[in-house]
Amino acid sequence: MKKAYTKDGRLARLMKICLGLPEAIQESAGRQATFLVRKDTFAYYLNDHHGDGIISVCCKVPPGDNEARVAAHPAKFYMPAYIGPEGWVALRLDVSGLDWNEVAALVVGSYKLVAPRRLALLANSERARDAVAATSPRTGPRPGPRPGPRPRTGPPARKNEPRRMRSAPVKK
């Protein structure tokens, strides 16, 4: 990835949020970025897409939620071209008073809709909030230990038991 591509602080913060999710990867094309989990897209970063002058993140939302968000907050949300009717909504990143916790919640919600069930269960909004806090220019990184890997759940492993030998038939 080129340095010029990551000059925009909004993209850098979005990358921290998206790439903090399990098995998330990024593909870039020009000034746009696509975030995927196992070949399924869960977020797009759009910078002046088709010359509209808007910088935004597009995410998958539950059915009907996109129209409700656009109707409730038309200055923040809009229906993206082509994918809006398919259940996607765009959140503008170029407006004043942007709440990055809201961005993180939208991205995590989209990830949970798109990711396989096991990965979706691993995704939580705390990871995204930590990524937001770590990149926040006001607060800086949070001190303290990071949580380690989650303990394995499920039945305990069986101990290696020797095979039982059949007793030989007794000859008379």
Indicate the pLDDT class of residue 104, thresholds 50, 70 and 90: very high
Q: Is the distance from CB of 89 to CB of 58 less than 8 angstroms? A: yes
The torsion defined by the Cα of 93, 67, 106 and 51, in degrees rounded to 10, comes to -30
In the structure encoding, which two tokens stand for residue 100, read together?
Answer: 């990055």
Q: If pLDDT is split at 50, 70 and 90, which confidence band does 113 have?
A: very high
- The predicted pLDDT at position 24 comes to 92
Nearest Cα residue to 75 out of 59, 61, 54: 54
What pLDDT score was predicted for residue 157? Answer: 56
Supply the DSSP string of 12-76, one letter for each residue.
HHHHHHHHTSTTEEEEEETTEEEEEETTEEEEEEEESGGG---EEEEEE--TTHHHHHHHH-TTT
Cα–Cα distance between 35 and 27 in angstroms, integer? Answer: 6
* CATH no. for 4-135: 3.90.1150.30
8-state DSSP, 154: S
- Mean pLDDT throughout 84-92? 91
Domain boundaries, the chain: 4-135
